[in-house]
Structure 1
Amino acid sequence: MSNALLINPSGMFTKQCDDDYIEHKPDIKIDVDIDLNDNDVQDIHVEIDTNFIPSTQRIDEEINQKYCGKSKCEFLFAYYQPEQETKANMHFRSFVNLAQALDRTMVLTNVGSSRINSCQNFTFGFYYNSKALQDMFPDVKFISQKDFQSWLKERRIKPNTEHAYILPGELNHTMELIKPYPDILKSKHCLNRFEFKLDDQTVFKQFNTGKKFTKDPIQHQAFADFLVNNLRTDVEVLLTSHFVFHPLFPKVSPPIPYSNHYFEEAAKITNRIKPYVAIHWRMERAKLDMLTECAESLVKKISQLKESHGIENVYLATDYPIAGGKTQSQTFHLLTENHHEAMKILNSTYKINSWVSSNIFASLRNDEVIEKEFLGAGMPGIVDKLVCMDADYFLATPEGCGRARSTYTTMIIDSRNASMQIGDKPQLNNIVERWMEGNDLL
C-alpha cells in the first residue's frame, strides 16, 4: 500500500489523485480509524499535500482580479446623493474626483426617481452614458453597482469598510471620529444588500467643510486636499455620503451626458413641434398672489414671439403636476388653487406640448417599475431639459413666479450658451429670457 495518504476535511483517509481539489478548512480534525495489522502500522506516515489546497486568500485574490484587475480591490462607493438629478449629477462628479485622487475604483451607484443612491432600481446607465463618463475620466476605473454586489457575494473573506460623512459649516474644515451607526445605514440606505463588513468596529469619520468654503478658491482647494489626505486608507471599500450643496473640488467637470435613449426621445418631440418656444416654469416658491399675473404675462410674451419670430408651438417644462397627482418635484409641497388657476390661463390660450402630450417612452411604460418613474421628475425631467436646450426660443421662470434660480435652469442656459458660441444649433434665437419685466438675471 502507499506510504503517503491524504486526509480530507472530514478526517478520513483518501487516495491521492492528480485532480484532487480539497477546499481549505481552517481546522482539520484528524480522526484515524482504520483496521491495520501491526506490521503495517510502522510503515504508514500521514501528510497533507498543501499544493492541492488553495488558500482563501488566494481564492479572493483571483476574485479581485476578475472584478478590478488587481490582487487587491479598493472601491469608493458614494451610496447616497441628497439632491435631485441635476444636482446629484454634479455631486457624483465630485466623488469621481475623490476616487481619482485616492486611486480607487468608482462604483456607479444606481439611479431612479430623479436620484442617485443605492436603494434605486435602475443601473447607472439608465440615466447616464457610462462610456462618456469614462471618456471624461480616463484614469478612473468604474464598476456597476450590480457587479460590485457580485464581487462582495463571491468574496470568501468579506471586505472591510470605512465610512466618511461630509457636512457643511464650522469655522474651518475639520475631521473627527464618531460613534458608528451601521444599523441606520443598513436600513435607511439599503446597505444590508451589500455583503461587506459594516459594524460597530468600522471606522466612521465626519468632516466639516468650513464656512462658505467654496467662496475662496484657496480655501476650497485646502478643504479638498484635507479630505483626500484624511481618506487615504487601506480598507477595501470606502463608503461616502454628504449633505453639502457645492462641489467638493474647485475644478468642476461638465455634466455627465445622458443615455442615448433620452436624446432620441427628445428628438422625436423637437422634430414634430419646431419651430417652438420652450418654457421652464418652476412654480415651487412662487408668490401665490403673483401667479395670475405671471400666467397672463407669459401668454402675452408667447403672442409676441409668435409674431416676431414665427414661433408656431409651445413646449412647457414644469414642476406642476401636468399628468395629475403629485408635483414633479420632491421639494415642491405646497400646491394651491392659485397654481391651478395660473395653469388654466395658460392652457386655455394655447395648445401646450409637454412630455405628457408627447407620450414619451410609450413602449417602455407597460413595465410597472418604469411607470413609477413618471410619477416624479426622473425620466420626464431629463427629456424636458433636452427639449429646452434645443428650443428656438427659451423662456425661464421670473422672480416671484417660482424658483428663478436652479441648477436645472443653469444647465439649460449653459448648454444653449455653448451652442451659440460654437454655432452647432443655428435655430437658437436666444440663450434665455425671463418673461416678465425686471427679470434680467440669467
Structure 2
Amino acid sequence: MATSDKIPVLQGITKKITITLFIFFIFWNLITYQIYDSEIINSPIFDDNVKIVTSIITSTNVITSTQVIKQEESPSSTIFKVAVVTETKTKTKFATKTSEILISSTKVDPQEIEKMQETLIDDPDHYEKQDELINQKYCGSTECKFIFPFHPPEQETQCNKHFLSFVQLAEKINRTVVLTNVGDSRIWSVRLFPFNFYYDVDELRDRFPKLKFITQEDFQDWCRERYIKPQAYFGKLLNIEPKFTVRNLSPFGGLLTKLERENKFYEFDFIFNNNSLFRQFNIGTRRVWGKTREKDTMIKFLQRELNVKEEVMLITHNIRSPLFEKLIPISYAKHLVNSANRVIKNQLNNRYIGIHWRMEKGEIELMSDCAYRLVNYIKNLTESTGISKIYFATDYPISGNSSQAQSDTFHKIFPEHREAFEIVKEGIDVETWVSTSALEYLHKYPELSFAVEDELRKGGVQGIMDKLILVQSNFFISGPIGCCRYSSTFTQKIAESRRRLINEGDKRIENLVDRWDGSKPYHI
C-alpha cells in the first residue's frame, strides 16, 4: 500500500482513538464525582458531541450533577435538554454554575457550542437558598453555627466535666453543640458510638433548654448536604499568661495535618485548610480566672473573640478545671442506668458493699499485702453489718484479657497485679460487671456488635456501669496510700454522688468512702 493510501487510514484510526479517549475522560469524571442522575449516562449522546460536555470542563471545574429536563423526538434525532452543574473549587473560593445544554444524536454546529457556553452563568442565589433550606432542616433556622468539642481531654469521668464546660461556652456564644461520639472512655470524634451510648441526651436538653444540640452523625450529614461547604475555624483555650490575649497559630509545621489525622476531620465535608483561622486563647491561670470578677472578664473576652463568621467552630482546651460554674456531671444513658438497677435488685439484693481498687500507681511490691489487707477488712465488715453481697470494680483486666487494663493510663500489668487479684477472688466472694452480665444486653444490637467487643476489652462503658453500681452501695471502700492511685478522680466522683444522695434523704448510703486500712479518706 502506498504512503498516500495509508494516510486516510491513519487519520481514521487517530480520530477513533481521540473519540475513545474523550469518552473515557467523560466517564471517568462522571464516575469519580458521583453523578446521581443516570439519564445522561444511559443516553445515546457519546458520539461527536462529546466536545459539548468537555467544552465546559476546565482544570478546576467538574460535573457534579446532571438532570435531563426535556426529551424530544424528531424524525432525524433524539434531543436531550440537560442541566449540567459544575463546581469550581480552589483554596480561596467556591462557585457553582448551572447550564442547560442540548445534546442530540446528530452533529451539533460549532456556533451552538459557543452559544451554550455563553449561557453558563453564575447562580449563587439558587444555592444559597438551597443551603438555607438545609440549615432549616438541621438547625430550625436559615443559619447554622456549630461548636464542635471534638476531643475534650482526659478519660470519661473528667471528660464529662470538660464537655459540660463547652456546653456552657456554647450557651454564652449562641452556638449549637455537636454531641461528639464516644467510646473507650473518651468523648472524641474518632470514636464509633453516638453520644447517647454513654449519656442521657434528653436530660442534657432539659438542663439547657435554650441550647440546641445535634448528633455528630447529623452534623456530618449537614456538612455533606450543603452546596456551599461550611468554613471551619480552630480555637484552643489555654490557662497560661498573659491573660485574655489571642495568638494566631500557623497551620504549617504540621498543626493542620496533625489535627486532620488524629481527629479524622477528612471525614467531615467542611472546608478546613491552610487558609482557615487557627487561634489560641490565653485565659490566664485558674488562680486568676477562678475569681468572680476575673471570671466575668474572661466570659466577655471569650464572647468577643469567639464571635466569628465561620459556621463550624472546632474547639478544644487542655485545662483540668471547670471553666465556668461547677455543675453536676452529665447523667448517664437510661439503658445503662436501667441495667445497673437490675443488677442491684436481682443480683445484689439491694444491699451490698462496693469496692474500688485502682491498681494503677500502686507500689508493685505491696500488691499482695494490699490484697490480704482488703480481704481481712471486708470479712470484718460483712460480719459486723450482716451484708454478704460484694461488688468489686477495678482497672485490672477482669474480662479475660490479662494483658490490657481497663484504663488507657494503666500501661503494664505485672505478675504482682495478677497475684493480688487472685488473692481477692479466693478470699472473698465478689461480683463484677462480668459475673453479673451487666452489659451482655449490648450484644443484642447487631449494628454495634463489631464495636462492642472492642469497647468491653478496654475501659469505657464498663467503667460507667461500675460507677452506677458503686454509687448506690451501702458501704463504699477504696484503697489506701501505696495500694492504688490514691487521689483517683473516679473514687472522688463516686463519693460526691453519694453525698448528693445523702442530702436527698437516701437512707441506703451509710458512708461516703472508707479506706481499707482505716485511714482518713482523701479530700472528700
- Normalised by the length of structure 2, the TM-score is 0.73
Report whether the alignment pairs 1:431 with 2:512.
yes
Q: Aligned match of 2:368 in 265, 286, 292? A: 292
Distance 1:186 1:264, change over 3 A: same
Distance 1:375 1:24 in 2: 49
Distance 1:300 1:32 in 2: 89
Q: Aligned match of 1:332 in 400, 410, 429? A: 410
* 8 A Cα contact 1:399 1:439, kept in partner: no
Report whether the alignment pairs 1:204 with 2:204.
no
| Paired position in structure 2 for 1:176 | 247
| Paired position in structure 2 for 1:223 | 298
Report whether the alignment pairs 1:357 with 2:435.
yes
| CA-to-aligned-CA distance 1:263-309 (integer Å, 9 cap, x gap) | 12112221112321000111111122332332222112111211221
Distance 1:29 1:362, change over 3 A: closer
SS of the aligned residue for 2:306 comes to coil
* 8 A Cα contact 2:233 2:278, kept in partner: yes
| CA-to-aligned-CA distance 1:114-163 (integer Å, 9 cap, x gap) | 11111111111111111000011111100010110110011000001110
The residue correspondences of 1:239-258 to structure 2 (distance < 5 A) are 239-249=314-324, 251-258=325-332
Indicate the RMSD between aligned Cα atoms, in angstroms: 2.9
* 8 A Cα contact 1:167 1:242, kept in partner: yes
Q: 1:343: Cα distance to partner?
A: 1.7
Distance 1:349 1:136, change over 3 A: same
Distance 1:419 1:202, change over 3 A: same
Distance 1:121 1:350, change over 3 A: same
| Paired position in structure 2 for 1:42 | none
Q: 1:24: Cα distance to partner?
A: 7.1
Q: Aligned match of 1:93 in 164, 180, 191? A: 164
The residue correspondences of 1:252-331 to structure 2 (distance < 5 A) are 252-271=326-345, 272-274=347-349, 275-323=351-399, 324-331=402-409
| Paired position in structure 1 for 2:521 | 440
Q: 1:64: Cα distance to partner?
A: 0.7
Q: 1:54: Cα distance to partner?
A: 6.5
Report whether the alignment pairs 1:375 with 2:457.
yes
Distance 1:82 1:33, change over 3 A: closer
User: Bigger CA drift: 224-233 or 94-103?
Assistant: 224-233
User: Bigger CA drift: 91-100 or 265-274?
Assistant: 265-274
Distance 1:351 1:28, change over 3 A: closer
SS of the aligned residue for 1:363 comes to helix
* 8 A Cα contact 1:129 1:259, kept in partner: yes
Distance 1:59 1:27 in 2: 14
| Paired position in structure 2 for 1:6 | none
Report whether the alignment pairs 1:232 with 2:307.
yes
| CA-to-aligned-CA distance 1:318-355 (integer Å, 9 cap, x gap) | 10111233111100113222222222221111111101
User: Bigger CA drift: 377-386 or 316-325?
Assistant: 316-325
Q: State the AA in 1 paired with 2:498.
A: R
Distance 2:361 2:308 in 1: 44
Q: Gaps (5+ residues) in structure 1?
A: 1-8, 35-46
* 8 A Cα contact 2:82 2:102, kept in partner: no
Q: 1:361: Cα distance to partner?
A: 2.3
The residue correspondences of 1:118-157 to structure 2 (distance < 5 A) are 118-157=189-228
| CA-to-aligned-CA distance 1:8-64 (integer Å, 9 cap, x gap) | x999xx99xxxx996876556799999xxxxxxxxxxxx99x9x9961111111111
Q: State the AA in 2 paired with 1:96.
A: V
Q: State the AA in 1 paired with 2:181.
A: N
* 8 A Cα contact 1:24 1:56, kept in partner: no
| Paired position in structure 1 for 2:421 | 343
SS of the aligned residue for 2:243 comes to strand
Q: Based on CA coordinates, which of the two structures has the bigger radius of gyration?
A: 2
Q: State the AA in 2 paired with 1:268.
A: R
Distance 1:265 1:93 in 2: 25
Distance 1:194 1:64 in 2: 16
Distance 2:140 2:100 in 1: 38
Distance 2:103 2:372 in 1: 96
Count matched residues.
Answer: 415
The residue correspondences of 1:10-159 to structure 2 (distance < 5 A) are 26-27=96-97, 55-159=126-230
* 8 A Cα contact 2:340 2:465, kept in partner: yes
Q: State the AA in 2 paired with 1:234.
A: K
Distance 2:502 2:101 in 1: 82
SS of the aligned residue for 2:451 comes to helix
| CA-to-aligned-CA distance 1:150-180 (integer Å, 9 cap, x gap) | 1001100000111001234335343200102
Distance 2:100 2:218 in 1: 40
Distance 1:351 1:172, change over 3 A: same
* 8 A Cα contact 1:294 1:436, kept in partner: no
| Paired position in structure 1 for 2:480 | 398
| Paired position in structure 2 for 1:410 | 492
Q: State the AA in 1 paired with 2:327.
A: S
Distance 1:359 1:32 in 2: 66
Q: State the AA in 2 paired with 1:372.
A: D
Greater relative contact order (Cα < 8 A, sep 6+): 1
| Paired position in structure 1 for 2:265 | 191
Distance 1:55 1:92, change over 3 A: same
